Amino acid sequence: MSGAQLRIERAPALCNALAPTREAALAAPVGRIELVVDGRWGALVNAAFDPALAAYSDAYENSLHVSPTFDAWARGLARTLAERWRDNLRCVVDVGCGGGEFLQLLREAGAARCVGFEPGRSARLAREASQKTGVEVRSAPFPDGAGDLRPTFVTCRHVLEHIAEPLPFLRAIRSALAPGAGLYLEVPSAAHLLEASAVWDVLYEHCWHFTERSLRRLCSEAGFRVLRSGGGFGGQYLQIEAVADEAQPAPAP
């Protein structure tokens, strides 16, 4: 890893956690950010990240679907993915699905069985999300909570940047897929962050900041063959579509 590119000594450990009182907000845990260039894939990583500080709970809320602009974009994305992957919509899984909003859009666009996994939510909130959206939301990680589920298409949006060890995470997803299954990944774009000097997007819970090249490298090492990559939502997001690479066996998680 190269030397630090950015340091923040005291950053909220969970920027999107809603505090019930002023006192609770002031007492919220903080952590140190020390962004360096990762020597393996070329992404930016917080070398000072402590996963124990980023303890997700029902208080964490980062859904943007209340914005008409964002919701319209997400609906268009769901329709595009459903069209491109129309032969892979038998069993769609959303890893880190939040309240199941995007999975609901995929179902409306033609997906058959839809299952979301959100370990950061309680069983109660997962049930409420299922009732609200009409899709199945499980308060469990993927693939540990998948049972005999064999997804034909997996979406994972704005999750990977939160994962301290992204390679085992993606390899575990790869090992659980049906033959020929597809993957859609979406993360904040490190290129946009740097070009726009968007320091407000440097969050403690985002321990990784990927460029297009670094994310493609990571996906390839995890056992995926990248079909498409580029930017979305005005360049703020980085998007990748890939398939499980059948030319190589699924790597061990």
User: pLDDT, tens digit, for every residue of 169-179?
Assistant: 999 999 999 88
Q: Does 3 have pLDDT greater than 70?
A: no
Q: Does 117 have pLDDT greater than 80?
A: yes
Report yes or no on 172 lying in a domain: yes
Query: What are the pLDDT digits (tens) for 31-75?
Result: 999 999 999 999 999 999 999 998 877 767 677 777 889 899 999
pLDDT at 64: 72
Running DSSP on this structure, what letter comes out for residue 73? H
Q: Where are the alpha helices (DSSP H) in 2-90?
A: 22-26, 68-84
pLDDT at 148: 86
Q: What is the mean pLDDT of residues 111-126?
A: 85
Q: 248 falls in which pLDDT band (50, 70, 90)?
A: low
pLDDT at 86: 96
Instruction: Say how many C-beta atoms besides its own lie within 10 A of residue 197's C-beta.
Output: 8
Report yes or no on 73 lying in a domain: yes
Q: 151 falls in which pLDDT band (50, 70, 90)?
A: very high
Distance of CA 20 to the CA centre of its chain: 26
Query: What are the pLDDT digits (tens) for 230-239?
Result: 999 999 999 9
Is residue 116 within 8 Å of 94, Cβ to Cβ? yes
Report yes or no on 31 lying in a domain: no
Residue 209 burial by Cβ neighbours in a 10 Å radius (0-12, 13-18, 19+) = buried
Instruction: Name the residue type at position 3.
Output: G
Query: What are the pLDDT digits (tens) for 83-107?
Result: 999 999 999 999 999 888 999 999 9
pLDDT at 34: 96
- Give the whole-angstrom CA distance, residue 65 versus residue 68: 7
pLDDT at 2: 58
Report yes or no on 249 lying in a domain: no
Is residue 241 within 8 Å of 84, Cβ to Cβ? yes
| Dihedrals phi, psi of 213, to nearest 5 degrees | -65, -45
Report yes or no on 15 lying in a domain: no
The reply to whether the predicted model has a pTM over 0.75 is yes
Tell me the average pLDDT of the chain: 90
Report yes or no on 13 lying in a domain: no
pLDDT at 43: 97
pLDDT at 226: 97
- Domain holding 111, by residue range, is 63-244
pLDDT at 54: 87
The total number of structural domains that make up the chain: 1
Is residue 41 within 8 Å of 87, Cβ to Cβ? no
- Give the whole-angstrom CA distance, residue 70 versus residue 44: 26
Mean pLDDT is lowest, of 6-10, 41-45, 157-161, 243-247, for 243-247
Q: 1 falls in which pLDDT band (50, 70, 90)?
A: low
Nearest-10 Cα torsion for 239, 81, 101, 99:
-60
pLDDT at 253: 59
Report yes or no on 138 lying in a domain: yes
Cis status, amide bond into 168, omega within 30 of 0 = no
- Give the whole-angstrom CA distance, residue 16 versus residue 9: 19
Q: 247 falls in which pLDDT band (50, 70, 90)?
A: low
Report yes or no on 199 lying in a domain: yes
- CATH number for the domain spanning 140: value is 3.40.50.150
